[in-house]
Chain A
Amino acid sequence: MIAATEPVRILSKSPTDDGEGQFLEVSMGPQHPSTHGVFRMDVVLDGERIVKLKPVFGYLHRNHEKIAENETYLGSMPYTDRLDYFCSLTNNWAYALAVEKLAGIQVPERAEYIRIITAELTRFQNHAALIGFLTQDMGASGTPLMYAFRERETILDLFESLTGARMMCNYMRFGGCRVDLPAGWLDHAKQFAATLPRFLDEFERLLATNEILMARTQGVGVLSKEFAVNAGVTGPILRASGVNYDLRKVDKYGIYDRFAFKIPLGEHGDTYDRYMVRLLEMRESLNILNQALKDIPDGPIVDPKTKIRGFKPKPGEAYGRIEAPKGELGFYLISDGTPNPYRYRVRSSCMMNLTVLEELCIGRNVADVVVILGSIDIVMGEVDR
């Protein structure tokens, strides 16, 4: 008899320990509430300790890249909203940046400011929600998450009054933005920004020195500098490991070189550092936001030369990347001069960051896996595309 596949074994003998300990294979996910979407981890356990961990993803795969190759350039814009659905505006920006590079389009000043304002609001709400989810995973059920969502709702209200949608904004256009800020939006945003320091203090007091949180996160899931760089990890996770790399400073895309802000760095690369880096990044985001809200000039919001229909960039290739809240988000486009891109590729920060999961988890307990995964900050929409 020929077995088509390996027989499924629940218990497997340790190859090294010769009958000493038995390994248990557990499939964590894809419906597990802590996996932040449909994500599965095949873990091999020795008692409570992780021996092996294999991330399995693809449950949310929807062929984004191939669909985009059959769409017009503009037609892909609403699909980018659905990559990392927490941060649709930064996704829009990364894609718009790639197309602008490809076609050599200039962005008017006011649009650059609007982009920065919306991107920093996006970063703020992403980090707030992430910290909420992370603490929820640790058992702080609800309270921090609800506080985070309270602020996030206000930010989403701002997005809605600007773009028409709370999450699927579809707002940026090649060479600018779709609509101008409605009357009173800036005042609203300023008022709201003025209340944020209080929220941040509250949020920090709520948990930052909490002994349970520290015990659960310090020294858990340590990611070394070298490994992080070699694995292509980007974003707050990389910075928590102490690598000073932020595309806002490195690439200075948009007009980020006009703003004064600091890059928070961690030292140990453990979960607590990742948590703290995000908390501090929210303050820096607020800092940029305040500067941008103060300085935003009047003017056009979109390059009048760009066309909505019949957009055909000349043949060539371009890679546009931004510092999305979760890391480097890049779009690689090849144009062959037709209205559809010849190749469309998304460099997803979440997926790259997820590749280090096993390294972080080995030797830890099952409960720590949940915390470590939470601190990596993934959204399956972007991992699977």
Chain B
Amino acid sequence: MLVILSVAKNLGIVWNFEVEVETVFGEGILKGLAETARNFLGSYVSKNRLTTVQYPEERLPQIEAYRNFPFLVYDGEDWQQGLRCVSCFICEKECPPKCIFIEKSTDKKPDAVGKPQFYPTVFNIDISVCMSCQICVEVCPFDAIKMDTDFELSTGNRFSGLLWDKKHLAKSNEHYHKIHPTEAAAVDAQLAADRAKTAAKAKAAAEAKPAAAPATPPPVPAGSEK
């Protein structure tokens, strides 16, 4: 029962798009239904028409650049000793919602390469406030804080369960290599280059003035991890 009528005239409206004005009534609906049917039947034959996966049994591969919450990188085996963070407070100051809390040590302890450094006695991130913006990562001159990719973080305690301390935040450099291989390789290369440069400088300084103490390494310019 298809009645030919001009929909435009019927409604007293004309419009200036390149769509057909004169249609068989019901044709547009049928066209749309044909499209739906094509997609429905297509989902049985074509993989890319069937786009959902049954999480958590099935998982899509993780995208490398994905970021979620920050973690503290440590070198070597011992997380206490190997933390790269020297507690400079830069990330605490730059974090937009101010969810990082740091307390600096009064003494220096040797880090993973044996250089005496300050270390954070307390390093807390309140991940219920953190908005995963990555600004702490960008501003840290020591490549000490990076973004993790773990997203299954539900906890029974919304206070202490979401306030992560130093121990919870510390993750090894291997972990960093596993989740962001390209970025971690670039960071390692940069760090090695910096270390070689400071070593060379210290050596030159030692040769020129044997009594002088080795200069503290200049901070890596922010943003150099790119």
**A residues neighboring B (CB under 8 Å):** 71-72, 74-79, 82, 143, 147, 150, 153, 157, 160-165, 168, 170, 178-180, 182-183, 202, 205-215, 218-219, 266-268, 270, 272-273, 276, 280, 307-309
Contact = CB atoms under 8 A, between A and B. Distances in A.
Contact of A210 (B15, B29, B133, B226): B29
Nearest to A212: B29
Given A147-B39, A276-B17, A75 B12 contact: no
A227 B223 CA distance: 48
A219 B223 contact: no
Interface of B: 7, 11-13, 15-17, 19-20, 23, 25-29, 31-32, 34-36, 39, 51, 63-67, 90, 94, 96, 131-135, 138-139, 147, 182, 222-223, 226
Chain B interface main SS type: loop
A209 B132 contact: no
Contact of A211 (B25, B36, B139): B25
Contact of A309 (B94, B96, B133): B94
11 contacts: A74-B135, A77-B135, A78-B133, A160-B65, A180-B226, A182-B64, A182-B65, A205-B35, A206-B35, A268-B15, A308-B222
B67 A202 contact: no
A267 B15 CA distance: 7
Q: Which of B32, B64, B94 has the most chain A CB atoms closer than 10 A to its own CB? A: B32
Nearest to B133: A78
B59 to A, nearest CB: 14
Contact of B51 (A71, A150, A219, A276): A150
Nearest to B90: A309
A160 B27 contact: no
Contact of A78 (B26, B35, B96, B147): B96
Contacts of B27: 209, 211
Contact of A206 (B13, B25, B32, B147): B32
Contact of B66 (A71, A160, A207, A219): A160
B138 A219 contact: no
Nearest to A214: B7
Given A79-B96, A153-B51, A207-B32, A168 B17 contact: no
Q: In the complex, which of the residues A163, A179, A211, A273 has the most CB atoms of chain B within 10 Å of its own CB atom? A: A211
A168 B65 contact: no
Given A78-B96, A202-B35, A160 B63 contact: yes
B53 to A, nearest CB: 11
Nearest to B7: A214
A211 B15 contact: no
